[in-house]
A and B are shown apart, each in its own frame.
Chain A
Amino acid sequence: MEILDHFALGFGVALSLQNLAYCFLGVLLGTLIGVLPGVGPLVTISMLLPVTFGLPPVSAVIMLSGIYYGAQYGGSTTAILVNLPGETSSAVTCLDGYQMARQGRAGAALAIAAISSFVAGCIGTLLIVALGVPLASWALRFGAEDYFALMVLGLVAASVLTHGDMVKALAMVVLGLLVGLVGTDVNSGVERFTFGLPDLADGIGFTVLAVGIFAISEIVLNLEQKETREVFTKNIGGLMPSWADLKTAFLPTLRGTFVGAFFGILPGTGPSISSFSSYMLEKKFARDPSRFGKGAIEGVAAPEAANNAAAQTAFIPMLTLGIPGTATMALILGALVMNGVQPGPSVMSRNPELFWGVVASMLIGNAMLVALNLPLVGLWVRLLSIPYRWLFPAIAMFCALGNYSLNNSAIDVYLCAALGVLGYVLAKLKCPPAPLVLGYVLGPMMEENIRRALLLSEGDLSIFVRSPISLTFLTISAALLISMVLPAIRRGKARVDREEAGAV
């Protein structure tokens, strides 16, 4: 019952009026910046970091972490309403969330996103408490070969993402890989596809790509057809999800939570991959995978749960090993160190008030986020009745602002516009955008890790089967491939048999 005492201590700290106020301020700011594309928690936290020096360390960390996980809630809002991913991790939510909105179910989609985020946030927080230290040391066992095998599994599983034309989907994955290659090669330092432009040396940002492909191209597509707008506003439907919706979303939320928690612990993977993976997993589990991409509620619940769980468990390597998995975590780590708190396996015993106070504030903060977001649903949905001639320029302006703020550079705005044109052309050619984004995310990581694995093994390929973790992932990938190919072969064989029988 020691853990109850710890929680009592934690809530004692987190429920003080001052800390409640900082928690609320953090999650409110997080929600707001989450809604804006480009303006993410990284920029916000770095701006606020100097301000927090005057605060007690607990209050500072409570507020900064509130911004971080709050942003994951806000990011889904614009993804659902206008196909504009507010945060990188909510790009996947565009796929089904926006379709739900088009069918007049924006309210249900927003509410499900908030509820599944809440569930995942709470479970993720409990994981930090219960298994933080063992999970972190487990994550240390992942070598380059294991990351590579994990990415292979991701790409193989991605083939279930596709519906319709397999060739187009593969072409999109390859295009995504190529876009991902732009920038400086990690192993040699050589610049690729940068055309001598220093602005491209760090690659094309995820926000620039996602906003261009999803939001800008959607605006252009809408401009050419006048009728869709009526469908959009006429039938907004119930604001809250039905009981059936909740039941459908229940298991996907749990699965999404565990997928997200898994990726959150591994440094360097992060919320984007976790939301993609959980989406693919749901599609694999679904009785009718063809509903995905056409407004399936599981396609909103699972990735939203995953990115929130990942945001929560990303604290595990940071708090217990001092290893920040993302740039934002590095900032929060900096805030801790500057406030005299030394992260590490013994952080729980050395700074119990801070550790348990922050953990308790995460539970409180997640509850605040639901309380904040559910009533806002009605307001957000009413945004959809704004005439297009006002809404579109506003969206385009926010996209431009967000992209500019990434590097304070106009190049990103132009790039986003160009990618918007590309997105429009691809939509016209009926090429799915999701495999492109996935190839972009996984490709560079795959390359980096396979080259590093081979560098460390002196070119010995057996490293991929000698590591038990890598072997497991590769075996699952092979099994998945066989399970997909076998029915096709059998069908093909049956047809040949029939033809032969017919010939006779």
Chain B
Amino acid sequence: MRIVYKVLAGLALSALASGAQAQNYPDKAIRMIVPFPPGGGTDVVARVIAQKLGEATGWTIVADNKPGSGGSVGLSLAGKAPADGYTIVLAQNANLVINPILGKANYDPIKDFAPIGLTASAPQVLVVAKDSPLKTVEDLLAAAKAKGGKMTFASPGVGTSSHLAGELLQQLASVKFRHVPYKGASQALPDLMGGRVDIYISSVPSVMTQVKEGALRPIALFATKRDADLPDVPTFDEAGIKNSDAVTWWGLAAPAGTPAAIVARLNTELNRVLKQPDTQGKLRAAGAEALGGTAEEFGALIKSDVPKWTQVIKTADVKVAD
């Protein structure tokens, strides 16, 4: 009896303590880990959110770039940080969900993190050079079948979201491409425009310039709906390839065990700034669409993404770690 009493008292005390913690929260600067170097898409999204959250609440939020290993370094640091609400991380599906499946990370997307809220997303697009004969999804699939696995598919790197989107397409449409990985867009684009590779899959912002100039032609989006910047481009879903959604998403997360009251507070403030037109405009300029929603919804997305990409990676036999 005494033991039960003690445990109960302890629980009550710790609940009180965490309540007090949440009430005074935050009494110092919050560190937002950005798992990519300054200047990239993730960095822009992080800085917009950090700045807007700071303005809306008066808190000090410091964006702290911890790049390396496709985001694994930053995520790993965040997962091991004290769960006191003073360390949060802007995760992306590529590093939070996919890196652990590829064996490139030592954290568990579900056990090691407390989701705060989905922040933004950007679709992936399949593009061809302007003088390519391919115009529609049907052209693409027919040509891929005719070429018998010799159609070359460029991606910004092995295991990137774009590579996996390509693998997903091959599995759903029962076609075969030959994957040619590059180190980002700067070398893949000259080869695509010079006709040395047939197709390229990438996030929309990194090919927007060439698409607007007419140097590249978008064929279809890996998304559930059309993109505001590319209203004439269909989704693969529309073209009859179901469940081909492969957006890049960003979401705010904290180390697992962060008090629920603090997570709820962060979620409220995050949703508030994501509704501001200025935030939406700034994210739009970086090619991302502001999202939002509850922490549970974000958690559910992570839980459904893990088996989906595990399946794609297993089927395609993508191996990066040995």
Please tell me which one of the listed residues A47, A198, A343, A344 contacts residue B72 in the complex, with CB atoms under 8 A apart: A198
Please tell me which one of the listed residues A50, A142, A199, A455 contacts residue B47 in the complex, with CB atoms under 8 A apart: A50
Residue contact A189 to B157, C-beta cutoff 8 Å:
yes
Given A267-B186, A409-B68, verify A186-B73 contact (CB < 8 Å). no
Please tell me which one of the listed residues B70, B180, B285, B322 contacts residue A456 in the complex, with CB atoms under 8 A apart: B180
* Closest partner residue, chain B, to A147 (CB atom): B187
Given A189-B320, A407-B66, verify A343-B43 contact (CB < 8 Å). no
Please tell me which stretch of B9-17, B188-196, B242-250, B300-308 contacts chain A, meaning at least 4 of its Cβ atoms lie within 8 angstroms of it. Answer: B188-196
Contacts of B102 on A, CB cut-off 8 Å? Answer: 189
* Closest partner residue, chain B, to A458 (CB atom): B150
Please tell me which one of the listed residues A139, A188, A331 contacts residue B320 in the complex, with CB atoms under 8 A apart: A188
Please tell me which one of the listed residues B38, B186, B321 contacts residue A43 in the complex, with CB atoms under 8 A apart: B38
Residue of B105, B152, B180, B286 most packed against chain A (CB within 10 A): B180
Report if B76 contacts A (CB, 8 A): yes
* Contact code string A331-343 (vs B, CB < 8 Å = 1, else 0): 1011001100011
Contacts of A47 on B, CB cut-off 8 Å? Answer: 38
Residue contact A201 to B72, C-beta cutoff 8 Å:
yes
Contacts of B186 on A, CB cut-off 8 Å? Answer: 267-268, 323-326, 330
Residue contact A408 to B66, C-beta cutoff 8 Å:
yes
Complex CA–CA separation, A321 to B106 (angstroms):
40
Distance between B54 CB and nearest chain A CB, rounded to angstroms: 13
Contacts of B196 on A, CB cut-off 8 Å? Answer: 143-144, 456
Distance between A488 CB and nearest chain B CB, rounded to angstroms: 38
Residue contact A190 to B191, C-beta cutoff 8 Å:
no
Report if A362 contacts B (CB, 8 A): no
Given A43-B38, A267-B187, A331-B39, verify A198-B69 contact (CB < 8 Å). yes
Complex CA–CA separation, A408 to B190 (angstroms):
32
Contacts of A456 on B, CB cut-off 8 Å? Answer: 152, 180, 196-197
Contacts of A345 on B, CB cut-off 8 Å? Answer: 213
Complex CA–CA separation, A400 to B272 (angstroms):
41
Q: Which of A412-448 contact B (CB under 8 A)?
A: 448
Complex CA–CA separation, A345 to B181 (angstroms):
27
Residue contact A188 to B212, C-beta cutoff 8 Å:
no
Give the number of chain A interface residues (Cβ < 8 Å). Answer: 53
Report if A6 contacts B (CB, 8 A): no
Please tell me which one of the listed residues A46, A144, A201 contacts residue B191 in the complex, with CB atoms under 8 A apart: A144
Given A42-B39, A50-B47, A198-B73, verify A452-B320 contact (CB < 8 Å). no
Please tell me which one of the listed residues B76, B185, B189, B215 contacts residue A344 in the complex, with CB atoms under 8 A apart: B215
Residue contact A188 to B191, C-beta cutoff 8 Å:
no
Residue contact A186 to B158, C-beta cutoff 8 Å:
yes
Complex CA–CA separation, A343 to B189 (angstroms):
15
Complex CA–CA separation, A448 to B187 (angstroms):
11
Report if A251 contacts B (CB, 8 A): no
Report if B319 contacts A (CB, 8 A): yes
Contacts of B213 on A, CB cut-off 8 Å? Answer: 322, 342-346
Q: Which of B62-96 contact A (CB under 8 A)?
A: 64-70, 72-73, 76
Complex CA–CA separation, A317 to B178 (angstroms):
28
Give the number of chain B interface residues (Cβ < 8 Å). Answer: 54
* Contact code string B162-194 (vs A, CB < 8 Å = 1, else 0): 000000000000000010111101110111011
* Closest partner residue, chain B, to A338 (CB atom): B285
Contacts of B23 on A, CB cut-off 8 Å? Answer: none
Complex CA–CA separation, A33 to B139 (angstroms):
51
Please tell me which one of the listed residues B47, B210, B320 contacts residue A322 in the complex, with CB atoms under 8 A apart: B210
Contacts of A408 on B, CB cut-off 8 Å? Answer: 64-66
Report if B159 contacts A (CB, 8 A): yes
Please tell me which one of the listed residues B67, B76, B105 contacts residue A407 in the complex, with CB atoms under 8 A apart: B67
Please tell me which one of the listed residues B182, B286, B319 contacts residue A188 in the complex, with CB atoms under 8 A apart: B319
Residue contact A455 to B180, C-beta cutoff 8 Å:
yes
Complex CA–CA separation, A324 to B76 (angstroms):
30
Q: Which of A296-333 contact B (CB under 8 A)?
A: 317, 321-327, 330-331, 333
Residue contact B209 to A337, C-beta cutoff 8 Å:
yes
Contacts of A493 on B, CB cut-off 8 Å? Answer: none
Residue contact A202 to B194, C-beta cutoff 8 Å:
no
* Contact code string A26-61 (vs B, CB < 8 Å = 1, else 0): 000000000000000011011101100000000000
Contacts of A186 on B, CB cut-off 8 Å? Answer: 157-158, 181-183
Contacts of A198 on B, CB cut-off 8 Å? Answer: 68-69, 72-73, 76, 105-106
Contacts of B64 on A, CB cut-off 8 Å? Answer: 408
Complex CA–CA separation, A324 to B184 (angstroms):
11
Report if B257 contacts A (CB, 8 A): no
Distance between A51 CB and nearest chain B CB, rounded to angstroms: 12
Residue of B37, B178, B193, B208 most packed against chain A (CB within 10 A): B37
Complex CA–CA separation, A245 to B190 (angstroms):
41
Please tell me which one of the listed residues B38, B187, B189 contacts residue A46 in the complex, with CB atoms under 8 A apart: B38
Q: Which of A180-197 contact B (CB under 8 A)?
A: 184, 186-191
* Closest partner residue, chain A, to B196 (CB atom): A143
Report if A498 contacts B (CB, 8 A): no
Contacts of A455 on B, CB cut-off 8 Å? Answer: 178, 180
Contacts of B39 on A, CB cut-off 8 Å? Answer: 42, 45-46, 49, 327, 330-331, 334
Contacts of B73 on A, CB cut-off 8 Å? Answer: 198-199, 201, 407, 409
Contacts of A42 on B, CB cut-off 8 Å? Answer: 37-39
Contacts of A323 on B, CB cut-off 8 Å? Answer: 185-186, 189-190, 210
* Closest partner residue, chain A, to B209 (CB atom): A322
Residue contact B158 to A187, C-beta cutoff 8 Å:
yes
Residue contact A201 to B194, C-beta cutoff 8 Å:
no
* Closest partner residue, chain B, to A49 (CB atom): B39
Contacts of A452 on B, CB cut-off 8 Å? Answer: 180, 182
Contacts of A321 on B, CB cut-off 8 Å? Answer: 189-190, 193, 210, 215
Distance between A250 CB and nearest chain B CB, rounded to angstroms: 34
Contacts of B72 on A, CB cut-off 8 Å? Answer: 198, 201
Residue contact A189 to B158, C-beta cutoff 8 Å:
yes
Report if A140 contacts B (CB, 8 A): yes
**Measuring CB to CB, which residues of chain B are less than 8 angstroms from any residue of chain A?**
37-39, 43-44, 47, 51, 64-70, 72-73, 76, 102, 104-106, 150, 152, 157-159, 178, 180-183, 185-187, 189-191, 193-194, 196-197, 208-210, 212-213, 215, 285-286, 318-322
12 contacts between A and B (CB under 8 A): A144-B191, A187-B181, A198-B68, A198-B73, A199-B73, A201-B73, A267-B186, A267-B187, A324-B186, A343-B209, A344-B210, A456-B180
**Measuring CB to CB, which residues of chain A are less than 8 angstroms from any residue of chain B?**
42-43, 45-47, 49-50, 139-144, 184, 186-191, 198-199, 201-202, 267-268, 317, 321-327, 330-331, 333-334, 337-338, 342-346, 407-409, 448, 452, 455-456, 458
Q: Which 9 A-B pairs have the closest CB atoms?
A: A189-B158, A322-B209, A46-B38, A189-B320, A201-B69, A344-B213, A46-B39, A198-B69, A140-B194
For the complex with contacts A202-B67, A334-B39, A338-B285, 16 further pairs of A-B residues with Cβ separation under 8 Å are A190-B319, A190-B320, A191-B320, A201-B69, A267-B189, A321-B189, A323-B185, A323-B186, A325-B186, A327-B39, A330-B186, A337-B285, A344-B210, A407-B67, A407-B73, A408-B64
